[in-house]
Amino acid sequence: MPDAVQDDIFHYNQAAWDRQAAADCEWSRPVDADAVAEARLGRVLARLTPGPLPAGWLDDARGLDILCLAGGGGQQAPLLAAAGARVTVLDASSEQLARDREVAERENLTLRLERGDMRDLSRFADASFDCVFHPISNLYVPDVAPVWRECCRALRPGGRLLASFYNPALFVADRDPALLEQGLIRPRFPIPYSDLEHLPAEALAAKRERGEALVFGHSLAALVGGQAAAGLLIAGFHEDWQPRPRFLIERHLPAFIATLAVKPA
């Protein structure tokens, strides 16, 4: 896909997320004071999936330089900062970053907030971070390879990339409500999936009319193999279930995948 098209997608999704955040979507609701207090005591850390992080992935954030990548919304970054990390947040949406600013001011936390594209971390020097914390967001870019390359470059030797994404199988199934009522799962779309290429024209137009972000379903080869191709070593793999299934397929397989990758020393 040409760079100009990818840039157009970025700006469209940037505006879409500003609208979603302003509308108080699920991923734009800041953590409360109790969660921050628990994080300060080391009892709560940010999450990549609905459940807790696997043991050993990030047991102690104290003193770490962490990049919360495409993770605005006032949720993950404040908890990492409260747990003792020096946290930078990079997100496309100014409204999502505003939620982080809100929590930081309310709880007297220090966060460095940067508005930008997850595919381009050139504002950060090589080996700037001990950890990149990348919650589900790479479905908003058509190509994840630049994201993994930039993460590897920005990590220090021995640093960790904690990333999560939707199970690619979720993008395959038809989401027709009538099928849900019948208890049927009908494969319809291929992987890799693209709203631009695979949604019928009328459905794509309706999605744009509603101001919803464009999404892309990547293969496991791109999501996991791509990290290895970028120079990272896969050290952990985790699956998690959707606690409130939206689609029938989510009742039958884990909706979320998370990986722990390490930059060789």
- In tens, the pLDDT along 86-103 reads 999 999 999 999 999 999
Domain that holds residue 29: 3-167+219-245+252-262
- Assess whether pLDDT exceeds 90 at residue 2: no
In terms of pTM, does the model score above 0.75?
yes
C-alpha to C-alpha distances, 225 to 8, 146, 192, nearest whole angstrom:
27, 13, 14
pLDDT value at position 25? 85
User: Is the pLDDT at 162 greater than 80, yes or no?
Assistant: yes
Q: Which of 52-56, 104-108, 246-250 has the lowest mean pLDDT?
A: 246-250
CA 260 to chain centre: 14
In a domain, 108, yes or no: yes
| Domain assignment present for 234 | yes
Q: Say if 110 falls within a structural domain.
A: yes
Residue 190 domain-assigned (yes or no): no
The answer to whether 113 and 97 have CB atoms below 8 angstroms apart is yes
Residue 132 lies in a domain: yes
- Is residue 196 a part of any domain in this protein? no
Q: What is the pLDDT of residue 3?
A: 80
Q: Is the peptide bond before 142 cis (omega within 30 degrees of 0)?
A: no
Q: What is the pLDDT of residue 183?
A: 83
- Which whole number is the average pLDDT over 61-77? 96
Write the CATH number for 22.
3.40.50.150
19 falls within a domain: yes
pLDDT at 128: 98
- Does the pLDDT at position 137 exceed 80? yes
User: DSSP character for 211?
Assistant: T
pLDDT digits (tens, 9 = 90+) for 194-231: 999 999 999 999 999 999 999 999 999 999 999 999 99
User: Would you place residue 176 in the very low, low, confident or very high pLDDT band (cuts 50, 70, 90)?
Assistant: confident
What total number of domains does the chain contain?
1
CA–CA separation, 172 and 217 (whole Å)? 9
Average pLDDT on 145-164 reads 98
The pLDDT mean for the chain works out to 94
